[in-house]
Chain A
């Protein structure tokens, strides 16, 4: 059965420090992988996604994620965070099921960036 596990519910970090938000999934078939970000009192918006090709994908605001097929992971990293990165981050996995695709979201990781 498909599932997505975000290993940390909350991650506090100081400004300008590096951060890694972890995401593991279970699926026996090819997958598409997404990270969405939710700023306070807003809807989710796409941060980055992996569809195929290079396993390292980047966003415009300095985040990157690497697809690791052997470890079934898609961890999100940023080398130096800003206060404005404070938000909740959701990993999502889409894979094939009978009749089409199915996208499942993880439970989310709250990133708190402290001054």
Chain B
């Protein structure tokens, strides 16, 4: 099992450009998450999907959109990138169902995408 995979690993964008970060998991998990990691701030939740076909905003959703394409895949789109979106982005998944953002579940993380917006 590959676990949680993310593409690309690195990306440099110019202000105003758009891009989509891809995430896939092969553990048959119901919930998937997108986080950003910034120095001194830990992980902050951008969006999550508690089940196939549903998505909800997290703490910092502005400037992002998501798509839960199927049970395996959860993509994050930046429509018009800004320097404030320079960060490391992590996708995660967990077994949980229903409207549970975490709960008792262990979250399994991908290796991350390092994004720089110039």
Contacts and interface: CB of A to CB of B under 8 A. Distances in A.
A99 B57 CA distance: 13
Interface stretch (A12-20, A67-75, A78-86, A103-111): A103-111
B109 A44 contact: yes
B104 A51 contact: yes
B101 A102 contact: yes
Contact of A100 (B44, B100, B108): B100
A43 B111 contact: yes
B102 A102 contact: yes
Interface majority SS (helix, strand, loop, mixed), chain B: loop
B103 A100 contact: yes
B57 to A, nearest CB: 12
Interface residues of A, number: 26
Given A43-B112, A46-B106, A49-B106, A100 B41 contact: no
A105 B107 CA distance: 12
Nearest to B38: A107
Nearest to A97: B101
A101 B33 CA distance: 14
A74 B105 CA distance: 18
Given A42-B111, A108-B42, A101 B106 contact: no
Contact of B90 (A44, A101, A103): A44
